[in-house]
Amino acid sequence: MKESFTPSMEQEKQSEISISEVPYRKVAKEAIMSWNGASEEEATAAIESQSYDELENQCWATGSMESGLKGILKSLQEQGIDVSDINPDDLHTDVFGPAEATETATQTGALAALGEKIKQTESPEALVVDTLSTIHDDWSRGNAKKFFQREKKYQHMPIELIGWKEAKADLLFLKPILEGAGVEASDDELQLSYYDRVSAFQQEHGTSTTEGLVAAIQQGESFYPALEGQTEITDFMATPEGAATVAAQINEKGIGGDVGYQAYLAVKAEQES
């Protein structure tokens, strides 16, 4: 077991930062530009003047960011790294900042301490991908109503089946947290780590063929625990037609249509030959 990180006296002191450097407000800026069509100048003005509540009504980022924090802590604990010395309230303060833009934005040192723990892991990239999985699982649990409202039913499957393009979308909520923690994770390394995870998942669950994929999907929450209690979805997937519909989307738009993964498999096969 690796040693836990103890913040230094300097790190334990609160330090002031610009309101625009608060992780939540960095996420809000990107979300307002991406989803609301605002210019960078308009989005910057918004995060520097509006309250947390005003921003949340536009970007709805809190839930996914909280899932991100939960995922990081869960992954660290599963690797035997002690996180009991990190105060959850301090971590929340560091990530979400003050309620009003006119208030002083401070860092308690909890986010920096979390970053040092992440750096202790064998693969910070694997931890990030694991955390993306937690964010995705929580989204699947909280957005069951979207399954029948939208075409993208495959999004309600495990992260290993939705493809890198969909999986990395939640980096919007996670990267500013990592930046605030002083953790660097390159997109290329994250993508490779994701593909490693997909390969292991397919071997474990036998989903590399369409037949295996359909059979797995029909198992419902036994295959994907995030579907627990979502009986309308699991009943649909339990039918041959429903499972085939979702499998076809996975093969076309999810991991089956992920050209990067196909290239990864080709290289892996060449290395093993």
Q: What is the pLDDT of residues 235-258, one digit of tens each?
A: 999 999 999 999 999 999 999 999
pLDDT at 5 over 50: no
Looking at residue 272, its pLDDT comes to 87
Can you tell me the distance from the alpha carbon of 99 to that of 183, in angstroms, rounded to the nearest whole number? 26
Q: What single letter denotes the amino acid at residue 26?
A: K
Q: What single letter denotes the amino acid at residue 76?
A: L
Composition of the chain by helix, strand, coil, percent to 5:
70, 0, 25
Residues 98 and 162 in one domain: no
Residues 168 and 105 in one domain: no
pLDDT at 259 over 80: yes
Looking at residue 237, its pLDDT comes to 97
Q: What is the pLDDT of residues 82-125, one digit of tens each?
A: 999 999 999 999 999 999 999 999 999 999 999 999 999 999 99
Residue 114's nearest CA partner among 93, 132, 87, 138 is 87
Report the mean per-residue pLDDT for the chain. Answer: 94
Can you tell me the distance from the alpha carbon of 170 to that of 42, in angstroms, rounded to the nearest whole number? 23
Q: What is the pLDDT of residues 138-192, one digit of tens each?
A: 999 999 999 999 999 999 999 999 999 999 999 999 999 999 999 998 999 999 9
* SS3 of residue 108 by DSSP: coil
Structural domain including 40 reads: 1-122
Q: Which of 122, 141, 162 represents a domain boundary (last residue)?
A: 122
HEC letters along 48-86: HHCCHHHHHHHHCCHHHHHHHHHHHHHHHHHCCCCCCCC
Residue 216 burial class via C-beta count within 10 angstroms: exposed 0-12, middle 13-18, buried 19 and up: buried
Q: Which of 102, 122, 142 represents a domain boundary (last residue)?
A: 122
* SS3 of residue 206 by DSSP: coil
Q: Which of 122, 140, 175 represents a domain boundary (last residue)?
A: 122
Residues 110 and 8 in one domain: yes
Please say whether the beta carbons of 4 and 118 come within 8 A: no
Looking at residue 51, its pLDDT comes to 98
Whole-model pTM above 0.75? yes
Q: Token pair of 24, please? A: 């939540």
Please say whether the beta carbons of 117 and 76 come within 8 A: yes
Please say whether the beta carbons of 95 and 101 come within 8 A: no
Residues 41 and 58 in one domain: yes
Residues 164 and 117 in one domain: no
Residues 100 and 177 in one domain: no
Can you tell me the distance from the alpha carbon of 111 to that of 95, in angstroms, rounded to the nearest whole number? 7
Can you tell me the distance from the alpha carbon of 254 to that of 154, in angstroms, rounded to the nearest whole number? 7
Domain count, the chain: 2
Report the pLDDT averaged over residues 2-12: 43
